[in-house]
Amino acid sequence: MEMVAYPDLIGTMVKFWDSDNMVFRFGEVEMTPTIEEILASYESVSMCNKRRFKPDTDLLFPKTWDFAEIREKLSLVKADWMDRMPGPNIPLRKFYYRFGRARAYEKFKEEFVSEEKWKETRPLAFVICLLGTMVFPQGPNYTIHPNVVMVTHAIFYGVGYGSAIKYYTLAPMILADIYRALDKCQSGERFFQGCNLILQWWMMRHLIKAHEPTEPDPLERPNRLESHDWWVQRNHFNRVGGQEFWYPRLQGLRDENVQWSIQCLVVTKQMVIRAEKTPYLIFAGLRGTRPYAPGRVLRQLGGKQEIPQISDMKKFVTDHENGRVSFAEDIRRAWKTRRILGEPVPNRFRPECSKDHKEWLKKSLAGTIELGPNVPNVIADVGAKHQIRLHRLQERFDKNELDHQHRHSEDAKIIAQLKKELRRAKQCMSELDEEPDNACQNWIIAWSNRFSRLKGSDIKKGLGWLEITYGRTDMLCGKRSALPRGPDLVKDQDELRVCYHPLRGITLFVLCFVIYFPNSFPQFYV
Considering Cα of 15, then 19, then 24, then 25, what sign does the dihedral take?
negative
Are 355 and 253 found together in one domain?
yes
Are 184 and 269 found together in one domain?
yes
Sheet containing strand 17-18, strands side by side: 17-18, 23-26, 29-31
Whether pLDDT at 292 is above 90: yes
Per the structure, how many domains does the chain have?
3
Q: Tens digit of pLDDT for each residue in 19-40?
A: 888 999 998 899 999 998 988 8
Final residue before a domain boundary, out of 116, 136, 166: 166
The answer to the question of residue 117 being in a domain is: yes
Residue 230 CA, chain-centre distance (Å), reads 34
Mean pLDDT score, 205-209: 88
Backbone φ, ψ for residue 292 (5° rounding): -140, 120
Write out the DSSP string of 290-334: EEE-GGGGGGGGTS-B-PBP----GGG-EE-BTTBPTTHHHHHHH
Considering Cα of 426, then 427, then 429, then 430, what sign does the dihedral take?
positive
The answer to the question of residue 234 being in a domain is: yes
Mean pLDDT score, 113-126: 89
* Cβ within 8 Å of residue 7, ≥6 positions away: 192, 196
Rounded CA separation 425/328 (Å): 90
- Biggest CA–CA distance in the chain, Å, is 169
Rounded CA separation 258/203 (Å): 10
Final residue before a domain boundary, out of 136, 166, 196: 166
* Cβ within 8 Å of residue 242, ≥6 positions away: 8
| Percent of the chain as helix, strand, coil, to the nearest 5 | 55, 10, 35
Q: What angle do CA 312, 314, 320 make, to 5 degrees?
A: 145
Q: Tens digit of pLDDT for each residue in 435-461?
A: 666 666 676 666 556 555 555 555 555
Phi-psi domain of 322 (left: phi exceeds 0; alpha: psi -120 through 50; beta: other): left
Mean pLDDT score, 487-491: 45
Instruction: Give the pLDDT band (50/70/90) at residue 513.
Output: low
Rounded CA separation 280/277 (Å): 9
Contact 301, 271 (CB under 8 A): yes
Are 131 and 219 found together in one domain?
no
The answer to the question of residue 241 being in a domain is: yes
Final residue before a domain boundary, out of 342, 366, 390: 366
Residue 364: Cβ within 10 Å count: 24
The answer to the question of residue 511 being in a domain is: no
Q: Which of 255, 245, 252, 208 is nearest to 351 (CA)?
A: 255
Residue 107: Cβ within 10 Å count: 11
Question: What is the rounded (10 degree) CA torsion for 420, 425, 426, 432?
Answer: 150
Are 343 and 297 found together in one domain?
yes
In this predicted structure, which of 131-145, 263-277, 359-373 has the lowest mean pLDDT? 359-373
Q: Tens digit of pLDDT for each residue in 471-484?
A: 544 444 444 444 44
Instruction: Give the pLDDT band (50/70/90) at residue 134.
Output: confident
Output the pLDDT for position 283.
93
Are 175 and 310 found together in one domain?
yes
Contacts 24+ apart (CB under 8 A), 353-356: 353/255, 353/299, 353/304, 353/305, 354/304, 354/305, 354/306, 354/307, 356/306, 356/307, 356/385, 356/388
Are 257 and 287 found together in one domain?
yes
Name the residue range of residue 125's domain. 67-166
Q: Tens digit of pLDDT for each residue in 149-160?
A: 888 888 788 776
Mean pLDDT score, 320-324: 79
Query: What Rg value do the Cα atoms of the chain yield, rounded?
Result: 48
Q: Which of 421, 420, 426, 424 is nearest to 495 (CA)?
A: 426
Are 198 and 336 found together in one domain?
yes
Residue 439: Cβ within 10 Å count: 15
Are 87 and 225 found together in one domain?
no
Are 333 and 234 found together in one domain?
yes
β-sheet bridge partners, residue 272: 340
Phi-psi domain of 383 (left: phi exceeds 0; alpha: psi -120 through 50; beta: other): alpha
Instruction: Give the pLDDT band (50/70/90) at residue 421.
Output: confident
Residue 72: Cβ within 10 Å count: 11
Residue 205 CA, chain-centre distance (Å), reads 22
Write out the DSSP string of 58-100: SPPPP----HHHHHHHTTBS--HHHHTSSSS-EEHHHHHHHHT
The answer to the question of residue 100 being in a domain is: yes
Beta strands in 345-501 (DSSP E): none
Are 138 and 201 found together in one domain?
no
The answer to the question of residue 278 being in a domain is: yes
Backbone φ, ψ for residue 380 (5° rounding): -70, 145
Q: Tens digit of pLDDT for each residue in 74-104?
A: 888 887 777 666 665 788 888 888 898 888 8
Identify which of 228-237, 440-449, 487-496 has the greatest average pLDDT. Answer: 228-237
Q: Which of 340, 303, 208 is nearest to 264 (CA)?
A: 208
Are 90 and 156 found together in one domain?
yes
**How many C-alpha atoms does 507 have within 13 Å on its Cβ side?**
21
Rounded CA separation 227/104 (Å): 32
Residue 461: Cβ within 10 Å count: 15
The answer to the question of residue 522 being in a domain is: no
The answer to the question of residue 448 being in a domain is: no
Q: Which of 267, 269, 265, 263 is nearest to 214 (CA)?
A: 263
Contact 36, 271 (CB under 8 A): yes
Are 85 and 150 found together in one domain?
yes
* Cβ within 8 Å of residue 236, ≥6 positions away: none
Contact 331, 59 (CB under 8 A): yes
Rounded CA separation 145/132 (Å): 7
Contact 142, 91 (CB under 8 A): yes
Write out the DSSP string of 377-402: T-SB-HHHHHHHHHHHHHHHHHHHHH
